[in-house]
A and B are shown apart, each in its own frame.
Chain A
């Protein structure tokens, strides 16, 4: 995240007005709130303004402020606080929001960003040459099971590979964005397991009538007992990973004594014990 400013005056449109449908919607939204509390509608109105124009213009900020009887600076505070509001023009056909948070990153979001950099623009929030595309890296969009993913307008495109994202970007660039099916881009139902369901399949009636499957002898051959793996254990010689090191968790008495000396974690609400 970086400092967010309004776009240059050269790209700012002179005026802003909600179209008829949005104006009616805005009026209804404002009326949801009690009299004197109209400014509660500032976020929905700004969002709708962004949906209408693609980004939040200076004129939109002032227009929304006037509609709600708010000082301009208060609306600017809101618009600059939430990164969901685009303060600079974004691609007219697609603004690709690539999730870069840990699950997506582990599943290859960095490759997706590389695709964006090569296909759209080297820097985020920059339009491509024809002005149709732009991209940014965003924080978690809540589709971690289907990582990595991108969000374009209100649709998410999940389980992406670099190649698939390229295709999607090309389709959007060609104006055929509506043809792309949102959701997982691989053979998968929503966030169900890859390769089909593993549980809650049609129950085998013969199986269910038998004694519990796990107890059956025949299974014992197949299911080999797997000892706990050391794969996740750190392989370093660093001091902190030494299991013999005394910590408050392993040496409770000593740490309690330390704490009492420093007086930092002692609960003063309890009567003090006599020192031993």
Chain B
């Protein structure tokens, strides 16, 4: 710890702090452009100049000077720094004047207007006039991909975007070419960026040089209603802010949540919003004369009633989709059970996850933040870059700290960090489980080994054996102790952990999702679009928001709400319970999914005992108390892993394939989004798009 005085106020901060951090600690505001807490220090904008007593007789860049570099006074007094002296004021005004020399005065047509660091700081720390009479510099705009729009006249060369893409995203694609006045930010020959996290440069850019292309010229930040919510595009449950105007979602921004996404979100999370407006089911449909025709709610319910009445309970089933909230899954489970059915499944991909094995067997036990304290990593059957891009950035963060051996069994993809490739499937895993191979020794030697098991390894018939063997490996290398549980299941579906927690799986004699498709007389699909319905026979009810795979196979469509249109609980891959808030309303006659199920239950004569979301939640919390603990992880027990390890047997020979074939098109909302379609086409084409 170092003691110092900031503007006369004495504080104590850790040794590694910079002066800027110390000033913030003391409550003194220091303007900055290039400095960012999560990126390396560049020190090139000079906006954070402060005065250091006893230092050289000039202002010092506070972001680039550490508190341990300060010298004490002649009699051992604490070093002093100042942020409000005339010297500092003059320095800031000078820097701001220089920055504004070449910055265009186009705030009225700039998308950053209203949330622009330069605008705000020019107001707070700048002077009111310019002495510059010459022409401003002009810079050609660059094409750097379909998501990020560039207006390079506005760039102030803070290089935050370059540092982000290089350090966090792991792509060395953006760079600063040229020098001095002619310096320009660009990608090599204006190729599109290949990162799944590139949208974050829009937030990082302190000016309007990099802005969101899909959002361009659509709204001003001050006319948007901001709702804090939870993302459902992957199983991380990243913290987001949904910005709406009227009924429309205009954009999605990240919120800071150190436990999950820090302050990054993936491009799918950020640019999905145009998919919320297209392909929507805005009224009920009933299949008449071989085609789906618009109907009223009561017609739709009557059609379902007739179908349910014509069959018995054991031939009724329900499959929950990947975006479903806990509340509606709970309501559907109650309804289907009351109809006398055990046929429930939330695992469309057939992953061998079983709640009866204990919660530890299907959650990401070490937690996402725990990745940073792990010291060896084995990834089994997963491509975290596509399955959980933000989590992949966390792995990369740990990788950059050094001394972090990583090995992969499964698909050999570009993960944005170096790893040792052990093999494609069960053979390599079996070898490792039997204690052979160098990487087993590496894991064994590690104090906190981390084993990530992806859905690619768990899908299919051999999944249960793979899961048990992975657990056996975890136990064998000492990944499961009282302090550390390094057994981590990485999910790809936001609804999955919640569904497993609820027990939305086949009961005694119940059928699994794949079996239900062909066998059930009445099948309820709660936003289930990822399952193959080509063999579907019998009556199908689709409750969901988008006209996608599930709706095409349906006999009755009940229009539901998307994740921005309902308040719902989701449990992320760590087992963290989070509640998303409603930001806007569903279009047309669409309703919140739990309310649809509640209304349907009344028609079917099995009225569910709740009339409001509050009552539903009260019953839910009574049955499953851990859902009431929001933002908390109900930790899995390590003896559950040990028990699972006991079941390890021989594995059938197979290769693991990541379930995410196309990062941009993993769910019905994404498939309805034109922006995602463009990104997907570009990625399929290996990012070889012609520059505009």
Contacts and interface: CB of A to CB of B under 8 A. Distances in A.
Interface residues of A, number: 22
Nearest to A77: B175
Given A73-B187, A74-B172, A80 B178 contact: yes
Contact of A72 (B85, B179, B188): B188
Interface string B60-83: 000000000000010000000000
Nearest to B138: A3
Contact of B178 (A73, A81, A264, A265): A81
A74 B177 CA distance: 9
A264 B182 contact: no
B605 interface: no
B446 interface: no
Given A1-B182, A71-B172, A74-B172, A268 B86 contact: no
Contacts of A76: 175, 177, 188
Contacts of B172: 70-71, 73-74
A3 B85 contact: no
B173 A73 contact: yes
B90 interface: yes
Contacts of A80: 177-179
A267 B85 contact: no
Interface residues of B, number: 24
Contacts of B108: none
B86 A77 contact: no
B177 A81 contact: yes
A263 B86 contact: yes
B508 to A, nearest CB: 57
B87 interface: yes
Interface in A1-31: 1-4, 6
B331 to A, nearest CB: 51
A1 B182 CA distance: 8
A27 B608 CA distance: 77
Contacts of A1: 179-182
Contacts of B188: 71-73, 76
A262 interface: yes
B85 A263 contact: yes
Nearest to A6: B189
Query: What secondary structure prevails in chain A residues at the interface with B?
Result: loop
Contacts of B332: none
A269 interface: yes
Interface string B183-195: 0101111000000
B415 interface: no
Nearest to A3: B182
Contacts of A77: 175-177
Interface in B169-218: 172-182, 184, 186-189
B465 to A, nearest CB: 40
Contacts of B179: 1, 80-81
B177 A268 contact: no
Interface in A237-276: 262-265, 267-269
B253 to A, nearest CB: 28
A46 B643 CA distance: 61
B649 interface: no
Interface in A79-118: 80-81
Given A74-B172, A262-B86, A269-B53, A2 B182 contact: yes
B206 to A, nearest CB: 21
A2 B176 CA distance: 15
B79 to A, nearest CB: 11
A73 B191 CA distance: 10
A182 B466 CA distance: 76
A71 B177 contact: no
Among B54, B174, B179, the most chain A Cβ lie within 10 Å of the Cβ of B179
B182 A4 contact: yes
Given A73-B173, A76-B177, A77-B176, A3 B184 contact: yes
A257 to B, nearest CB: 16
Given A80-B178, A80-B179, 19 more contacts: A1-B179, A2-B182, A3-B178, A3-B184, A4-B177, A4-B182, A71-B172, A71-B188, A74-B175, A76-B175, A77-B175, A77-B177, A81-B177, A263-B86, A264-B87, A264-B90, A265-B57, A267-B57, A269-B53
9 contacts: A1-B180, A3-B178, A4-B182, A71-B188, A73-B187, A74-B175, A76-B175, A81-B178, A263-B87
Interface of A: 1-4, 6, 58, 70-74, 76-77, 80-81, 262-265, 267-269
Q: What 5 pairs across the A-B complex have the smallest Cβ distances?
A: A71-B172, A73-B175, A80-B177, A73-B188, A72-B188
